Amino acid sequence: MSYNTFGHLFRVTTWGESHGPAIGCVIDGCPPRVALEEADIQPWLDRRRPGQSKFTTQRQEADRVEILSGVFEGHTTGTPISLVIRNTDQRSRDYGDIATRYRPGHADVAYDMKYGIRDYRGGGRSSARETAMRVAAGAVARKVLGDRISIRGALVQVGPHAVDRARMDWEMVNANPLFCPDMAMLPVWEDYLADVRKKGSSTGAVIEVVAEGVPPGLGAPIYGKLDSDLAMALMSINAVKGVEIGDGFASACLTGEENADPMRMENGMLQFASNHAGGVLGGISTGQPIVARFAVKPTSSILTPVPSVTRDGENVDVMTKGRHDPCVGIRAVPVGEAMMACVLADHLLRHRGQVGNQEPVVL
């Protein structure tokens, strides 16, 4: 199984399985002399950690990150940074009864048809446990990007319940375990999720990730566009079924006048009157906020039996017991932020590699 690496200059490789002894990543290409210690990474992992609310899986993983290489006396050395998290809650017996059955909506059947071997322990490599290492790599990417670039994510829809954008308050996102930016919507989501959980069911969600302070010029036409790399990165997250940049699919309903982001020079600075484009034109960042959204499908593991088959071709009904989130979209928020951070760090280095540290020409 190859293709465990993404990025060109800021290259992230993840390894490990849900129920192996550990998971890890190697970040190759991180510039030297970036201040980095475990305490820079751990808080981001804590945001993704399971078991933090009744609406996320009760799997209890400490997710303690260790830096194994690439850092000396608190600074990156320019050599590969290796990070590891030991798995401490790998109760394989929870998964024993699905050893020969394919769980609907999971990668079981597709992996087995392709590779002919099945690690049934919690989905093995297909498990979203792998996304912990994306979050760790994203923390390193944030250090490369520096304080002038901020990346934040929020849950903006749970099932049919979307936030009211007029009420969106980013300050509230980290003040509640659902990463909800709309305090009037929070109790609606809590009631809805409680009901979904009680029924042993699940629901989908939409996550928005916004990067501010991104300089103009990141992204390289034609096949290294910033938006296409972002779409790839976000789509690669488990359970993601749709990605939008800027107005995304809604732009199909707009007229050219509505969709244009008018420009003016104000006090010698280029200003856009709107941001339907989501901060990217021609695959290149414009200096506007980069706005991406992604849709996450409902958690596949549900308590209702669903028709499926066994490895031996027998028809069965599969009900997935174990510890699962009624809405995996909640824990996908820090993962989406991390993927945005990794893509931007990679493009920042690629941009410097091609044009150096020059200031943009017109702005």
Ligand X SMILES: Cc1cc2nc3c(=O)[nH]c(=O)nc-3n(C[C@H](O)[C@H](O)[C@H](O)COP(=O)(O)O)c2cc1C
* 274 annotated among ligand-binding-site residues: no
Distances from the Cα of 195 to the Cα of 185, 192, 239, 331, 338, angstroms: 16, 5, 21, 19, 30
**Residue among 86, 207, 236, 81 nearest 143 (CA):** 81
Structure tokens at 109: 């059947």
**Residue among 253, 240, 182 nearest 207 (CA):** 240
Is 55:193 a contact under the CB 8 Å cutoff?
Answer: yes
- Out of 83, 206, 237, 245, the only residue in the binding site for ligand X (CB under 6 A) is 237
Minimum gap (Å) between residue 145 Cβ and ligand X: 23
300 touching ligand X, by CB under 6 A:
yes
* 301 annotated among ligand-binding-site residues: yes
* 298 annotated among ligand-binding-site residues: yes
Q: State the alpha helices, DSSP H only, in 71-151.
A: 108-115, 131-145
For ligand X, which stretch binds (CB under 6 A), given 36-44, 149-157, 181-189, 233-241?
233-241
Minimum gap (Å) between residue 297 Cβ and ligand X: 6
**Residue among 57, 53, 66 nearest 24 (CA):** 66
324 touching ligand X, by CB under 6 A:
yes
What's the rounded Cα separation, in Å, for the pair 150 and 41? 16
299 touching ligand X, by CB under 6 A:
yes
What's the rounded Cα separation, in Å, for the pair 190 and 181? 14
Minimum gap (Å) between residue 237 Cβ and ligand X: 5
131 touching ligand X, by CB under 6 A:
yes
- Out of 293, 331, 347, 350, the only residue in the binding site for ligand X (CB under 6 A) is 331
- Out of 141, 206, 335, 339, the only residue in the binding site for ligand X (CB under 6 A) is 335
Minimum gap (Å) between residue 128 Cβ and ligand X: 3
332 touching ligand X, by CB under 6 A:
yes
* 48 annotated among ligand-binding-site residues: yes
* 282 annotated among ligand-binding-site residues: yes
Q: For residue 208, which phi and psi values (nearest 5 degrees)?
A: -115, 135
Q: For residue 206, which phi and psi values (nearest 5 degrees)?
A: -125, 135
Comparison of 25 and 280: residue with beta carbon closer to ligand X:
25
Structure tokens at 255: 């007229």
* 329 annotated among ligand-binding-site residues: no
Structure tokens at 73: 């006396």
Contacts of ligand X in 51-110 (CB under 6 A):
57, 106-107
Is 92:121 a contact under the CB 8 Å cutoff?
Answer: yes
239 touching ligand X, by CB under 6 A:
yes
* 238 annotated among ligand-binding-site residues: yes
The site for ligand X, by CB under 6 A, has a size of: 21
Residue with tokens 């390894």: 15
- Out of 81, 84, 98, 128, the only residue in the binding site for ligand X (CB under 6 A) is 128
Comparison of 107 and 168: residue with beta carbon closer to ligand X:
107
Structure tokens at 243: 């990605």
For ligand X, which stretch binds (CB under 6 A), given 113-121, 151-159, 213-221, 324-332?
324-332
* 54 annotated among ligand-binding-site residues: yes
* 228 annotated among ligand-binding-site residues: no
What's the rounded Cα separation, in Å, for the pair 310 and 301? 16
Q: Which residue ranges make up the site for ligand X (CB under 6 A)?
A: 57, 106-107, 123, 126-128, 131, 237-239, 297, 299-301, 324-325, 328, 331-332, 335
